[in-house]
Amino acid sequence: MAKGKLIVLEGIDGSGKSAQYRRLCARLEKDQIAYTHIVFPRYDRESSALIRMYLGGQFGTHPDDVNAYTASTFFSVDRFASYQTEWKQIYEAGGLILSDRYTTSNAVHQGSKLSDEELPEYFSWLSDLEYRKMGLPEPDLVIYLDVDIETSLARMRRRQQKYGTSADIHEKDVNYLERCLHTADRACEYYGWTRIPFLRDGKERELDEKNNEIYELILRTIEK
Ligand code: TMP
Ligand code: MG
């Protein structure tokens, strides 16, 4: 069976993921490279019901109130529904899929509920669940956008003020977000994700400079 390419952009809240994503889409369009854009979670779909209950605090107001394995399944089933109904055919016909978050977000945000010793078993369970049992495609490239905690929090607060949105249980918990950053380091090593460093020579890098780096990686992956 023909197989497409799946490229994933990953990063915690306030990592600049959405800004990078928008620029990448615009560049692909300008270069006339056909792609399909997917985003997780899909808040407006029935398959995200448990995600909305969880992030809205109906199972407890702290992320740790629902353990890593249980919460992961909420997000995994939404991905399964999306694959089956929206992009399986395109992918199997050889299409390019660009995803804003994926299984990788479970690794970072649910893995952070476990100790370093427990992580390898969880990472392997997660891959088995989504990529083998559920049959979702494995990414050809995962781009992880590094950020520091202060920048992440500042950007998140600015966005919440601008759009008047309220924080979900993950966003409200600074200690949890710090653990996510730590877990992302472990996940990058374990899965071999490509890291886009936040700093260069101790200074925050420009959005466009990082975008050029990411776009090069994407072009190389498409050509493979
Ligand atoms: P959002 O910030 O992109 O709206 O995503 C909501 C939160 O859910 C965010 O903290 C990341 C987390 N998450 C998971 O834990 N697992 C997943 O598979 C996805 C897609 C998101
Ligand atoms: Mg968020």
Q: Which domains does the chain have, with CATH numbers?
A: 5-223 (3.40.50.300)
The residues with which 204 forms a beta bridge, in sequence order, are 199
pLDDT at residue 2, as a whole number? 63
**Angstrom distance (rounded) from CA 125 to CA 114:** 13
**Cβ of 17 less than 6 Å from ligand 1:** no
DSSP state of 137: P
Residue 1 pLDDT > 60: no
In this structure, what token pair is assigned to residue 21? Answer: 């994503």
- Residue range 191-213: mean pLDDT, rounded: 96
- Residue range 202-219: mean pLDDT, rounded: 97
| 44-100 tens-digit pLDDT | 999 999 999 999 999 999 999 999 999 999 999 999 999 999 999 999 999 999 999
Give the mean pLDDT of the chain.
97
Q: Which residues contact 167 (CB under 8 A, 6 or more apart)?
A: 156, 160
| 145-184 tens-digit pLDDT | 999 999 999 999 999 999 999 999 999 999 999 999 999 9
Cα 11 to ligand 1 centroid, rounded to whole Å:
10
**Angstrom distance (rounded) from CA 19 to CA 82:** 23
**Cβ of 99 less than 6 Å from ligand 1:** no
Strand, helix or coil at 194?
strand
Residue 3 pLDDT > 70: yes
pTM of the model: 0.97
Q: Probe ligand 1: pick from 101, 163, 172, max atoms within 8 Å of CB?
A: 101
**130, 6 Cβ separation under 8 angstroms:** no
The number of the ligand 1 atom at minimal distance from the alpha carbon of 108 is 15
Residue 200 pLDDT > 60: yes
Pick the closest to residue 140 from 151, 148, 149, 131 (CA basis): 131
In this structure, what token pair is assigned to residue 3? Answer: 């197989």
- CB neighbour class for 39 (10 Å; exposed up to 12, middle 13-18, buried from 19): middle
**16, 155 Cβ separation under 8 angstroms:** yes
Cα 35 to ligand 1 centroid, rounded to whole Å:
23
Strand, helix or coil at 38?
strand
Q: Probe ligand 1: pick from 69, 75, 180, max atoms within 8 Å of CB?
A: 75
Please report, in angstroms and rounded to a whole number, the separation of the first and last CA atoms in the chain: 17
| 202 phi-psi bin (left φ>0, alpha ψ -120 to 50, beta other) | left
Residue 218 pLDDT > 70: yes
